[in-house]
Amino acid sequence: MCLANAYAEKNKTLLMENAKTIDVKDDTVILTDLFGGVKEIKGVISHIDLEENIIIIKVL
């Protein structure tokens, strides 16, 4: 299992810690964390670094 922290591209704000799933629907990125918490963010995935466990999201 790979867990990652999700950050906003522009100001590097932490959007979600320990994200385990990523879904994309239209212009919304849906992140689910290890404990089942869900966060919907209007934006697009800018970068995923599996080595560093980081997801960068360009918030719209």
* Residue pLDDT, tens place only, 6-39: 999 999 999 999 999 999 999 999 999 999 999 9
CB 33 within 8 A of CB 41: no
Give the residue-averaged pLDDT of 44-56.
96
Distance CA 4, CA 31 (A): 10
For residue 23, count other CB atoms closer than 10 A to its CB. Answer: 11
CA–CA separation, 44 and 60 (whole Å): 8
Q: Give the pLDDT of residue 1.
A: 72
The region that residue 15 occupies, defined by phi over 0 for left and psi between -120 and 50 for alpha, beta otherwise, is alpha
